A and B are shown apart, each in its own frame.
Chain A
């Protein structure tokens, strides 16, 4: 199942917190697609995924937006 999170206009670490809070309540194997505008997420979300055992499936930049899809592989 794909869950969407709108983190536009939020500055790091808030997009990471919104992603983390969503990952904490979804099932293993589900995905989160997070829409961001702060370029800091390009560093911070992969770092958060790495230390918390989640996987980045894709990262797409279009216009001034960054769309990152994450798969939940581990419980917090």
Chain B
């Protein structure tokens, strides 16, 4: 009887290796990739104008392994992990331990629903400060409900045997005992398995680990007065310059053509400003209806990032989401007129 495993595929080297090692033992493997909304790859690369669209590494890894990949949208369920992480945040707003527990829990549900036998991940003991700390690995297995159905082929030999090993579904002797932050054992194994092309680095795949992104997310929560968010909110935090001249509103100003095109798609949801007399970016205004003084300030800030920044006057068009527009003529603010604390980085 062929046993079946599902692998958590991030698109990095570790999950690729873990899957390959198990495939070589005759196990049928399929992949799962979870879409949280905070993934670095995909969105960012799609927004910024590029000659060649970047590949999706999870799909690419599945293609190299010859396995099916199920991409699962967990955006809504994931909000509670981001907002209320039981085990707290890492250096930024990254709830890595809760995230890993949640994903393994979802994988456990998936294997039950689809008649699979166990779960594999590319985790390496001690590789990451939160989710892969050695003492936390058993906690992930326990709290996710996966328990001994969770096999980590790259560090299994340093952990208690799991059911797939005890039952002889996989040969423990052919698994590994990698540990620590060095990538050398993984690179050596990749060479041994003939894997030459893989995404680097493992792990840098979530915006919540990014300090600048976390500042913008915290600002969003602080100024809204609660930690609620929608997918559009977290998408927009990835795009443009964010300038908050007032607690009640902020500007999201495109930095290049791809971002201008992307932000233009939100004109029917946000107030917007576009320079008319000079080349320049589009700005979205995140906040309630601005008063005339605020509109003028928002226009002067937007003009600062246009080709009319040194002109006597810049003409801009301010539009409401309902399509009503008005033209304004302003002088661009100078760099010194924009206090540093307004800019969220």
List chain A positions with a Cβ less than 8 A from chain B.
9, 11-14, 16-17, 20-21, 38-40, 42-44, 47-48, 50-53, 76
Contact = CB atoms under 8 A, between A and B. Distances in A.
Closest 7 CB pairs of A and B: A47-B59, A40-B53, A11-B46, A12-B42, A11-B43, A40-B46, A51-B62
A40 B54 contact: yes
Nearest to B266: A9
Given A39-B46, A40-B42, A17 B69 contact: no
Given A11-B42, A50-B63, A76 B68 contact: yes
Contacts of A42: 53
A50 B55 CA distance: 14
Interface string B55-85: 1101110110011111111000000000000
Contacts of A53: 68
Contacts of A52: 68-69
B34 to A, nearest CB: 10
Given A13-B42, A20-B71, A76-B70, A47 B54 contact: no
22 contacts: A11-B43, A11-B47, A11-B235, A12-B43, A13-B39, A13-B42, A14-B35, A16-B71, A17-B35, A20-B70, A21-B73, A40-B45, A40-B46, A40-B54, A42-B53, A43-B55, A44-B55, A47-B55, A47-B56, A48-B69, A52-B68, A52-B69
B292 interface: no
Interface in B205-230: none
Contacts, number: 68
Contact of A51 (B42, B45, B59): B59
A51 B66 contact: yes
Nearest to B33: A13
B59 A44 contact: yes
Contacts of A39: 46, 53
B71 A17 contact: yes
A51 B70 contact: no
A40 B265 CA distance: 17
B63 A43 contact: no
Classify chain B's interface size. 20 to 34
Interface of B: 33, 35, 39, 42-43, 45-47, 53-56, 58-60, 62-63, 66-73, 235, 265
A44 B59 CA distance: 7
Contact of B71 (A13, A40, A50): A13
B206 to A, nearest CB: 14
B56 A13 contact: yes
A40 to B, nearest CB: 4
Contacts of B55: 43-44, 47
Given A12-B56, A13-B39, A39-B53, 19 more contacts: A11-B43, A11-B47, A11-B235, A12-B43, A13-B35, A13-B42, A13-B56, A14-B35, A16-B56, A17-B35, A17-B71, A38-B46, A43-B56, A44-B55, A47-B55, A47-B59, A47-B63, A51-B59, A51-B66
A47 B66 CA distance: 11
Contacts of B56: 12-13, 16, 40, 43-44, 47
Given A11-B235, A13-B56, A76-B70, A51 B47 contact: no
A69 to B, nearest CB: 19
B63 to A, nearest CB: 5
B238 to A, nearest CB: 10
Nearest to A47: B59
Residue of A38, A40, A42 with most chain B CB atoms under a 10 A cut-off: A40
Residue of B53, B66, B235 with most chain A CB atoms under a 10 A cut-off: B53
B51 to A, nearest CB: 10
Nearest to B69: A51
Contacts of A17: 35, 71-73
Contacts of A12: 42-43, 46, 56
